[in-house]
Amino acid sequence: MAEEVKEVKPKKRMTATRAAASIGPMVKEFITSTLQARAEGRQKLAYTFIVCHHEEILRAMDVIPIWTENFAGICGAKRDAERFLQRAESLGLSRSLCTYALCGIGFDQWREELGQMPPDAPWGGQARPDFMISSGQIICDPRSKWYQASQQFMPDVPIYNIDLPYPLFQRDQDHRDVWDYYHKYIVKQLRGLVAFLEEQTGKKMDYDRLRELVDLSDRTWNLIDETYKLRRAVPCPMGTGDAMNTMVPINFMMATEKAYDFFVDLKKELEEKIARGEGEVENERYRLMWGGGLPAWYALNDFNYFNSKGASFPVETTYRMVAPLNEMDIPETRDPIEHLAWRWLGYWTFWYDKAKKRPGSEPDVERLINWIEEYKIDGVVMHEAFSCRSWHVGLIWQLHQLAKIYKPIPIYVMGKDGKREKVYRELPSLILESDIIDITSYSEVDTRNKIDAFIETLESIRANRAA
Amino acid sequence: MEGRGDSILNTVERYYKDYGLRARELRNEGRRLTGYVCSFVPLEIITASGCIPFRVRGDIHEPITTGDTLLETIVCPYYRSCFDLSVKQKYDFLSGMVIPHGCDSMVRSFSAWSYSLPFPYFHFVNIPTVCDQSSIEFFSAELNTFKKSLERFVGKSITEEDLAKAIRVHNENRDRVRDLYEFRKTDPPLISGTELTRTLTVGSSLPVDEANGLYDRVSAEIKQRERSPVKKGPRILIDGACLDNVELIKLVEELGGSVVADTICNGARDYFPKTDIGGNPIDALARRYLEKVNCPKTYRANRAGTFEGDIASRFGDTGVYAKEFKVDGSILYLYKYCDPFGFEVPARKAYYKSINVPLLHLEDVYSAGTMGQLRTRIQAFLEMLG
Ligand code: SF4
Ligand code: SF4
């Protein structure tokens, strides 16, 4: 069975903002509070997934969500996932599968076998849930398979699986032609969730409270959008390294005043930094976009390494799971469940119209292009985490397509007749390869060598441009 | 399809090796062929539109090259191979392609497929992940969207009658496949697993009526057999996803086993469930593909409230086949990076234990190169079965 050896502790990543620095303790407090709630037994605890637009429903029913991806990420960040991964492997699960899920299943099996937390469980461990809310949706298979697999070890814990599809982008189809029946279906699925929670908690949904919470998260969505757009400033006041912390209120705390207040503070902090001309790095030389991929949680200080080379990350596609509501073309409704379903569809189809207008474009590519321009990006970095197909399949193609339809960097070269000519060079890109939490897939030396080579490319482009 | 030599199975082998041979002929005759992957694409709608459904397959002998320049290697190797062959123009006789929401590999690579291949028609069918009244209603609406998009492509409407006829002929196809499976019941089986999977693979590259004709001829020939092509040995069920290259089955049979049953996507999973007739054809199709095609991707609620009850209902069909085909052991053969099947391994193991069927679990990478490594493990398993 699994070795109980911890890997070398990672060095702490330095944050650029106070707000990001406050996240660690916040998460720790959250994990501890779920353990306390478990012990007290007053509130129901639910395993669940981020990006399901159901936080408002859970909170309105006083159900405490346990974000299982979060706990797996913590194990990864603490370099203490291996023993849970090995346990999952010993059950017959392939190491090529989503490692968050493997870590979670390994942990659950161990906890259930012992009847208590595994030894030295990170931050006290993950509490046993009263029920599990999985989600079969178009973005991820493990979301409907993970809890089903965990249920083998806790068969008394029921599952409700919500289906949340959205229309995939198809060039010859207007998503508005089909989204009515998508909406109808999602509404039914969410109402099914309400009924399940009512049954599990013995309480009735308070729809006024739900409406308030939906309104609160809508306001938070807009506020996050405004806050993140401040990062367009040169120099950039906050980078992706910090955004991997500030993803916590976006993804784990939505529909709470705390999340809203967090972004009020962050916005203020960024505005102050901009006023002082203070960037994430002291002498900003390159502005990079984190163009895709979940981070390697055990190696977040690679962001500091980028910073040490003068590279800042004003924008990332990862974990920016919000879009401005006022720019969404979705119908108005007073019914909070109907609104959640529209917001879901509005979010996923946000770039569709724009993508249709540019020949050869596609929503993910379109988003890259727009942000390259808005955030004045010099290069794109992506991370291919081998175990998660959801966020990582398609990245190579996106870069390929980007290079095909968009060549934004003008450089001057000597033409045949000795005259200077303006040509457009592809945006340089770097693909890092490892995993979200499986540290055996990571090599710091290789990663840093790749980063060095990429920085050299950026530098030579700068030199050419200056010439 | 013209036979050559004395046996229809020789013809099958020829069409298996030169996959798409008949499709190219049909294309030259002006017919439209629509490619598809996975068992979730309702072929009846394609047939009803006048197009010919053609199952795109991979090739374990062909190294993946061009495909890897466009698609991550964390996609399951079977699907990568299908993509690689497609971008290398192996299926350039197709007029279109339909990809369903079968798994993340399919969903996330849809743009790579649809922008890289020059087909005039491309469509994605969204398959619900749960199985209840609301998902059936949603799926019916989604199938209507698929139907409409095909109507636009072929320039004619697909009537209820067209659909009913297509449903009938595809059901007949499934009946014929069932007949072929009947030959597996003797001990040793009258048809080898290699022959059967080869025949079905070829069938999925033909118009359904031609496939029906082919299956009839194969059946007629097998009926005449006096001896089994394989020696009496442990009777094996192959459990897994899509197995469109026969090497693994061949290996089991070379080592003395008889492959007599399966749950694979180009086998029982796809061919055993039939579409109900009468009533609204689109609704009937929605029910067949969602309720009856037993794919791990579809979440089926645990109604029993116990683990034992849950696995009995999720994997019960495997137990039925194990009994019906008098199976001695099962090989769970899965591809690396396949989340839907991969996460079920512990539960499937427990299920096999509950029905007392010995199990060998293999993870593979869809390459002829790994057959040597599998040989030893399969041999040991067969020896253990005696
Ligand atoms: S596959 Fe990816 S998106 Fe899905 S649970 Fe795992 S890490 Fe999250
Ligand atoms: S084998 Fe698995 S991952 Fe591959 S295409 Fe089939 S379901 Fe998808």
Q: Is B95 on the interface with A (CB under 8 A)?
A: no
Q: Is A139's CB within 8 Å of B71's CB?
A: no
- Scanning B144-173 for CB atoms below 8 A from A yields 145, 149, 152
Helix (H, G, I), strand (E, B) or coil at B145: helix
Mean pLDDT, chain B, whole residue set? 97
Q: Is A168's CB within 8 Å of B137's CB?
A: no
Written as one string, the DSSP assignment of A304-347 is HHHHHTTEEEEEESTT-----GGG------S-HHHHHHHHHHHH
Q: pTM value?
A: 0.95
Which residue ranges make up each domain of chain B?
22-162
**Contact between A72 and A105 (Cβ < 8 Å):** no
For B108-159, the pLDDT digits (tens) are 999 999 999 999 999 999 999 999 999 999 999 999 999 999 999 999 999 9
Q: What are phi and psi of B231, to 5 degrees?
A: -75, 155
Residues in contact with A329: Cβ distance below 8 Å, sequence separation at least 6, in sequence order: A346, A353
Q: Give residue A81's identity as a one-letter amino acid code.
A: A
C-alpha–C-alpha distance, residues A77 and B341, integer Å? 28
* Pocket-testing residue among B238, B263, B293, B338, ligand 2, by greatest number of atoms within 8 A of Cβ: B338
Closest of B370, B385, B383, B381 to residue B60, by C-alpha: B370
Torsion angle (degrees, nearest 10) of CA B191, B188, B253, B16: 0
**Contact between A139 and A390 (Cβ < 8 Å):** yes
If you measure CA to CA, which chain B residue comes closest to A94?
A: B342
The residue to which tokens 């499986």 are assigned: A438
Closest of A231, A254, A233, A253 to residue A243, by C-alpha: A231
Query: How far away, in angstroms, is A142 Cα from ligand 1 center?
Result: 6
Q: Is A389's CB within 8 Å of B337's CB?
A: yes
Along the 386 residues of chain B, how does pLDDT read in single tens digits? 655 457 999 999 999 999 999 999 999 999 999 999 999 999 999 999 999 999 999 999 999 999 999 999 999 999 999 999 999 999 999 999 999 999 999 999 999 999 999 999 999 999 999 999 999 999 999 999 999 999 999 999 999 999 999 999 999 999 999 999 999 999 999 999 999 999 999 999 999 999 999 999 999 999 999 999 999 999 999 999 999 999 999 999 999 999 999 999 999 999 999 999 999 999 999 999 999 999 999 999 999 999 999 999 999 999 999 999 999 999 999 999 999 999 999 999 999 999 999 999 999 999 999 999 999 999 999 999 98
Give how far A89 is from chain B: nearest CA, Å. 10
- Scanning A61-80 for CB atoms below 8 A from B yields none
Q: Is B130's CB within 8 Å of A138's CB?
A: no
Closest of A202, A52, A45 to residue A136, by C-alpha: A52
C-alpha–C-alpha distance, residues A40 and A22, integer Å? 27
Q: Is A99 on the interface with B (CB under 8 A)?
A: no
The residue to which tokens 């999985």 are assigned: A134
C-alpha–C-alpha distance, residues B183 and B189, integer Å? 6
For residues B268-296, one letter each, b for 16 or more C-beta atoms within 10 angstroms of the residue's C-beta and e for the rest, the string is: bbbbbbbbeeeeebbebbbbbbbbebbbb
Q: Is A269 on the interface with B (CB under 8 A)?
A: no
Helix (H, G, I), strand (E, B) or coil at B261: strand
C-alpha–C-alpha distance, residues B47 and B34, integer Å? 9
Q: What are phi and psi of B327, to 5 degrees?
A: -80, 140
Best of B80, B104, B139 to disrupt the A interface (most A CBs within 10 Å) is B104
The residue to which tokens 């890897």 are assigned: B68
- Scanning A135-154 for CB atoms below 8 A from B yields 136-142, 144-146, 148-149, 151-152
Tokens of A63: 């159900």
Give how far B251 is from chain A: nearest CA, Å. 23
Q: Give residue B205's identity as a one-letter amino acid code.
A: S
- Report the residue from B141, B302, B346 with minimal CB separation from A91: B346
HSE on the CB side for B349, CA within 13 Å? 13
Distances (CA, A) of A127 to A45, A79, A89, A107, A283: 8, 20, 22, 11, 45
Q: Is B299's CB within 8 Å of A136's CB?
A: yes
**Residues linked to residue A414 through DSSP beta bridges, in sequence order:** A420
A51 lines ligand 1 (CB under 6 A): no
C-alpha–C-alpha distance, residues A80 and A85, integer Å? 10
Q: What is the pLDDT of residue A5?
A: 42
Give how far A433 is from chain B: nearest CA, Å. 11
C-alpha–C-alpha distance, residues B108 and B204, integer Å? 25
C-alpha–C-alpha distance, residues B111 and B96, integer Å? 14
Cα-Cα-Cα-Cα dihedral sign, residues B71, A389, B248, B210: negative
Closest of B198, B211, B257, B266 to residue B232, by C-alpha: B257
Q: How many CB atoms lie within 10 A of CB A308?
A: 12
Terminal Cα-to-Cα distance of chain A (whole angstroms): 61
Residues in contact with B291: Cβ distance below 8 Å, sequence separation at least 6, in sequence order: B131, B136
Q: Is A178 on the interface with B (CB under 8 A)?
A: yes
Closest of B303, B302, B312 to residue B354, by C-alpha: B312
Q: Give residue B377's identity as a one-letter amino acid code.
A: R
A73 lines ligand 1 (CB under 6 A): no
**Residues linked to residue B216 through DSSP beta bridges, in sequence order:** none
Judged on CB neighbours under 10 Å (0-12, 13-18, 19+), A329 is: exposed
Q: Is B141's CB within 8 Å of A181's CB?
A: yes
Q: Give residue A84's identity as a one-letter amino acid code.
A: F
Q: Is A91's CB within 8 Å of B345's CB?
A: yes
> What are the chain A neighbours of B70 within 8 Å (beta carbons)?
396-397, 400
Helix (H, G, I), strand (E, B) or coil at B376: helix
Q: Which segments of A230-380 does DSSP mark as H helices, in order?
A: 240-252, 257-276, 302-308, 336-348, 352-357, 363-374
- Scanning A381-400 for CB atoms below 8 A from B yields 384, 386-387, 389-390, 392-398, 400
Which atom of ligand 2 is found nearest the CA of B335?
1
**Residues linked to residue B268 through DSSP beta bridges, in sequence order:** none
C-alpha–C-alpha distance, residues A44 and A41, integer Å? 7
HSE on the CB side for A149, CA within 13 Å? 36
C-alpha–C-alpha distance, residues B281 and B58, integer Å? 32
Tokens of B325: 């085909």
The residue to which tokens 């993970």 are assigned: A146
C-alpha–C-alpha distance, residues A113 and A102, integer Å? 16
Element holding B223 (H helix, E strand): helix B208-224
Minimum-distance ligand to the CA of A297?
1
For B251-274, the pLDDT digits (tens) are 999 999 999 999 999 999 999 999
Terminal Cα-to-Cα distance of chain B (whole angstroms): 41
- Report the residue from B128, B129, B346 with minimal CB separation from A93: B346
Distance of CA B208 to the CA centre of its chain: 15
- Scanning A191-220 for CB atoms below 8 A from B yields 192
Cα-Cα-Cα-Cα dihedral sign, residues A222, A224, A230, A231: negative
Q: Is B303 on the interface with A (CB under 8 A)?
A: no
pLDDT, averaged in runs of 10, over chain A (467 residues): 48 85 93 96 97 97 98 96 98 98 98 98 97 90 97 98 96 95 98 98 98 98 98 98 97 97 98 97 96 96 97 97 93 97 98 96 96 94 97 96 77 64 74 96 96 94 80
The CATH number of the structural domain formed by B22-162 is 3.40.50.11890
Tell me chain B's radius of gyration from C-alpha atoms: 20
**Residues linked to residue A384 through DSSP beta bridges, in sequence order:** A433
> What are the chain B neighbours of A101 within 8 Å (beta carbons)?
343
Helix axes B345-354, A142-150, angle to 10 degrees: 50
